[in-house]
Chains A and B, each alone.
Chain A
């Protein structure tokens, strides 16, 4: 799992984005990697989402929006994007929105999640 945060303490060098529009930021961040999870470090459901992908053998990239200086905007934008109960966790695969945890679960049960992961190159088996 790779964490990218707005503050200094991170494992990957921070890419400071130029655009301020949260929606654009989200799109750019989502497109950057095969599997992207927008998360909150204190949120347990986000932990569930992370565990699920790890159990599939996938390494998602996680953005903890509570550690982003503009996390508020991101949170609102995410909520607008999928209209769910909570802004996080929100999952993108191959740059495309999968949705909140319920969509992820539903897509895993009906088999489409694995297919999406394979198409995005996150899974090889």
Chain B
């Protein structure tokens, strides 16, 4: 790294790594004159020196005294075109170069020898290109080193325009390459997006035409088309859910009128009605997909009861969150929890009986009668759909009853709590999936963890308002 700063332009474009934090370490290598430390300290607004340096060099201006040389090298920057893809160190460099260019005006410690040459061309280029906020990109890293070297280095006794030109050219090359890379990436994203839209369209078409690719995944991999369609619809529903939750939250914070809140709450109930109808359709095409919870996240699957959440558990979670409740409301909700428990128990027992009967049928199938036994077994399996449907019916009725028991404001808070609760459960699943295991932590995973954590914390903050 230090080598090309001294003047070897060989590996310039590969120097993606040298960021600003390398500057202090590079300083000793780059100092040819001990008195150049002032350039590090100077501050000032940033502006583009690209054209300036090119102009100076191409005109073959000889800079004789040390200060001028220093100034030239601090002024060295890649061509203006590279501003389109700047990086952090550019700003830092701009700070100091600006400062250094004003050294004459501000009379800082170095400033006695004013470089009038550099001062005058300075003004026109001054406000030409205000640098955009620089993202941290490696791509323009190749720019850094020569800039850093320009920043910190004492110029050699005689400036070598040839080397400088070469360096400039390599900087341009590096920037051009990174622009091309970025373009390629964006194009890849675009084509993926188009492909995704295409796939969704195909699925919809297939569904409307009633095509089924063989349940259980012979043709389509691990899930049947019914399951795949439901997963797609469910993920859209989840996006909608997120939107509804935000709406509820802002509505409560904004203290909207009851009639306005009512509209939003009714909308949320309808949104849940929609998922139950989606699940009803999915139960017809692939009940196993629902009942095994393959459509949910692992954490939700852990608490799965008959293809979804257990209503009595949800109410148990809600009761402390719904304070304050009137005596009557409290009794009503406790009674709701109790009724739901009884209904759940009855359904579970019915399902147990179904399983037992199925086991008996399969176990007692004789070789002679295998076809008939299979037919009987299939008939019994078909009853699974009924149980999942009744469980969903129970969930739906429970939510409606909650809506009836609470005031509109309480209902809004209640549904917000529900939405956030499941949001957090889902976030927990992703965090769990991306938790560090062994010693290898992929960059992507830890980034995801961070963003999930932020999401969890964000919802936590919102939640604590109520």
B-binding residues in A (CB < 8 A)? 42-45, 47-49, 51-52, 55-56, 85-86, 101-102, 105-106, 108-111
Contact = CB atoms under 8 A, between A and B. Distances in A.
B401 A110 contact: yes
Contact of B349 (A47, A85, A102, A109): A47
B343 interface: yes
A11 B404 CA distance: 44
A106 B404 CA distance: 13
B394 A109 contact: yes
B192 interface: no
A52 B349 CA distance: 9
B394 A101 contact: no
Contacts of B383: 43-45
A108 B350 CA distance: 17
Given A109-B339, A110-B404, A111-B335, A55 B345 contact: yes
30 contacts: A42-B357, A43-B383, A44-B351, A44-B354, A44-B387, A45-B350, A45-B390, A47-B353, A48-B347, A48-B350, A51-B346, A51-B349, A51-B350, A52-B342, A52-B346, A55-B345, A56-B342, A86-B386, A101-B390, A105-B343, A105-B393, A106-B397, A108-B342, A109-B343, A109-B401, A110-B397, A110-B401, A110-B404, A111-B332, A111-B401
Interface in B246-301: none
B354 to A, nearest CB: 4
Interface centre among A44, A45, A52 (most CB of B within 10 A): A44
A45 B393 contact: no
Contacts of A105: 343, 390, 393-394, 397
A105 B311 CA distance: 13
Interface centre among B340, B343, B354 (most CB of A within 10 A): B343
Given A44-B351, A47-B349, A48-B346, 15 more contacts: A44-B383, A44-B387, A51-B346, A51-B350, A52-B343, A55-B345, A85-B386, A102-B390, A105-B343, A105-B390, A108-B342, A109-B340, A109-B398, A110-B397, A111-B332
Nearest to A113: B339
Contacts of A55: 342, 345-346
Given A51-B346, A86-B386, A109 B354 contact: no
A49 B346 contact: yes
Contacts of A109: 336, 339-340, 343, 394, 397-398, 401
Nearest to B402: A109
Nearest to B346: A52
Interface string B343-366: 101110111011001000000000
A44 B350 contact: yes
A63 to B, nearest CB: 18
A23 to B, nearest CB: 25
Contacts of A110: 397, 400-401, 404
Interface centre among B345, B346, B347 (most CB of A within 10 A): B346
Contacts of A42: 357
Interface in B199-250: none
B164 to A, nearest CB: 81
A108 B389 CA distance: 16
Contacts of B336: 109
A123 B405 CA distance: 24
A55 B389 CA distance: 21
A110 B350 CA distance: 22
Nearest to A43: B383
A44 B340 CA distance: 19
A109 B349 CA distance: 18
Contacts of B398: 109
